[in-house]
Amino acid sequence: MAQPTSQQGYYELYRGTSIGLALADTLDDLISSRRIEPQLAMRIMANFDQAIATVLGDKVKARMSFKGHLDVYRFCDEVWTFVIKDVKFKMDNSQQIEAEKVKIVACQSKDKAA
Protein backbone atom coordinates (compact mmCIF):
# COMPACT_ATOMS: atom_id res chain seq x y z
CA MET A 1 0.00 0.00 0.00
CA ALA A 2 1.26 3.49 -0.73
CA GLN A 3 2.50 5.02 2.49
CA PRO A 4 4.47 8.21 2.97
CA THR A 5 8.16 7.66 3.55
CA SER A 6 9.11 8.16 7.17
CA GLN A 7 11.63 10.95 6.55
CA GLN A 8 9.92 13.14 3.96
CA GLY A 9 6.22 12.32 4.12
CA TYR A 10 5.77 11.74 0.36
CA TYR A 11 3.89 8.85 -1.18
CA GLU A 12 5.40 6.37 -3.59
CA LEU A 13 2.38 6.52 -5.92
CA TYR A 14 4.24 7.86 -8.95
CA ARG A 15 6.83 5.08 -9.00
CA GLY A 16 4.36 3.01 -11.03
CA THR A 17 4.15 5.63 -13.80
CA SER A 18 6.16 5.25 -17.00
CA ILE A 19 8.75 7.80 -15.83
CA GLY A 20 8.99 6.20 -12.37
CA LEU A 21 9.43 2.72 -13.86
CA ALA A 22 12.07 4.02 -16.29
CA LEU A 23 13.97 5.62 -13.40
CA ALA A 24 13.79 2.40 -11.36
CA ASP A 25 15.02 0.32 -14.34
CA THR A 26 17.91 2.72 -14.91
CA LEU A 27 18.87 2.64 -11.24
CA ASP A 28 18.71 -1.18 -11.26
CA ASP A 29 21.07 -1.23 -14.24
CA LEU A 30 23.46 1.15 -12.47
CA ILE A 31 23.40 -1.01 -9.34
CA SER A 32 23.94 -4.20 -11.38
CA SER A 33 26.95 -2.68 -13.13
CA ARG A 34 28.27 -1.53 -9.72
CA ARG A 35 28.26 2.13 -10.77
CA ILE A 36 26.14 3.20 -7.77
CA GLU A 37 25.30 1.73 -4.38
CA PRO A 38 21.73 0.60 -3.55
CA GLN A 39 21.53 3.23 -0.80
CA LEU A 40 22.09 5.99 -3.38
CA ALA A 41 19.34 4.50 -5.58
CA MET A 42 16.95 4.56 -2.61
CA ARG A 43 17.77 8.25 -1.98
CA ILE A 44 17.23 9.04 -5.66
CA MET A 45 13.82 7.34 -5.59
CA ALA A 46 12.89 9.29 -2.43
CA ASN A 47 13.91 12.52 -4.18
CA PHE A 48 11.80 11.46 -7.17
CA ASP A 49 8.78 10.96 -4.88
CA GLN A 50 9.18 14.48 -3.52
CA ALA A 51 9.95 16.16 -6.85
CA ILE A 52 7.08 14.61 -8.81
CA ALA A 53 4.55 15.45 -6.08
CA THR A 54 5.83 19.03 -5.86
CA VAL A 55 5.86 19.61 -9.62
CA LEU A 56 2.41 18.13 -10.16
CA GLY A 57 1.02 20.14 -7.26
CA ASP A 58 2.63 23.47 -8.19
CA LYS A 59 3.00 23.49 -11.97
CA VAL A 60 0.06 21.60 -13.44
CA LYS A 61 -2.92 23.92 -13.78
CA ALA A 62 -5.07 21.91 -16.19
CA ARG A 63 -8.56 20.99 -15.05
CA MET A 64 -11.05 18.35 -16.09
CA SER A 65 -14.34 16.92 -14.97
CA PHE A 66 -15.64 13.41 -15.26
CA LYS A 67 -18.82 11.41 -14.88
CA GLY A 68 -19.26 7.69 -14.46
CA HIS A 69 -20.69 4.92 -12.31
CA LEU A 70 -18.99 4.31 -8.98
CA ASP A 71 -18.30 0.57 -8.83
CA VAL A 72 -16.01 0.17 -5.79
CA TYR A 73 -14.77 2.48 -3.07
CA ARG A 74 -12.68 1.83 0.03
CA PHE A 75 -10.80 3.75 2.72
CA CYS A 76 -7.83 1.95 4.24
CA ASP A 77 -4.72 3.29 5.98
CA GLU A 78 -5.70 6.90 5.22
CA VAL A 79 -5.94 6.15 1.48
CA TRP A 80 -9.17 6.36 -0.56
CA THR A 81 -9.51 4.09 -3.61
CA PHE A 82 -12.32 4.50 -6.13
CA VAL A 83 -13.07 2.34 -9.17
CA ILE A 84 -15.36 4.07 -11.65
CA LYS A 85 -16.88 2.43 -14.72
CA ASP A 86 -18.05 3.94 -18.02
CA VAL A 87 -16.21 7.20 -17.38
CA LYS A 88 -16.49 10.29 -19.57
CA PHE A 89 -13.78 12.92 -19.08
CA LYS A 90 -14.21 16.51 -20.22
CA MET A 91 -10.98 18.53 -20.53
CA ASP A 92 -10.41 22.29 -20.28
CA ASN A 93 -10.40 22.56 -24.07
CA SER A 94 -13.79 20.78 -24.27
CA GLN A 95 -12.15 17.59 -25.58
CA GLN A 96 -13.94 14.48 -24.35
CA ILE A 97 -12.39 11.10 -23.63
CA GLU A 98 -14.15 7.91 -22.56
CA ALA A 99 -12.79 5.00 -20.54
CA GLU A 100 -14.32 1.67 -19.61
CA LYS A 101 -12.82 1.65 -16.10
CA VAL A 102 -10.71 4.10 -14.05
CA LYS A 103 -9.04 3.61 -10.67
CA ILE A 104 -8.43 6.71 -8.55
CA VAL A 105 -6.15 6.60 -5.49
CA ALA A 106 -6.32 9.63 -3.18
CA CYS A 107 -3.96 10.27 -0.28
CA GLN A 108 -3.63 12.99 2.34
CA SER A 109 -1.58 15.89 0.99
CA LYS A 110 1.73 16.63 2.70
CA ASP A 111 0.45 20.07 3.79
CA LYS A 112 -2.31 18.57 5.90
CA ALA A 113 -0.42 15.52 7.16
CA ALA A 114 1.40 17.47 9.86
Question: What is the pLDDT, as a whole number, of residue 77?
Answer: 86
Are 78 and 87 in contact, with CB atoms under 8 Å apart? no
Question: What is the pLDDT, as a whole number, of residue 9?
Answer: 61
CATH value of 64-108 in 2.30.18.10, 3.30.360.10, 1.20.58.220, 3.40.50.2020: 2.30.18.10
pTM over 0.75: no
According to CATH, where is 1.10.287.190 located in the chain? 13-59
Question: What is the pLDDT, as a whole number, of residue 112?
Answer: 52
The list of the chain residues with pLDDT below 70 reads 1-9, 110-114
Half-sphere exposure of 81 (CA within 13 A, CB side): 9
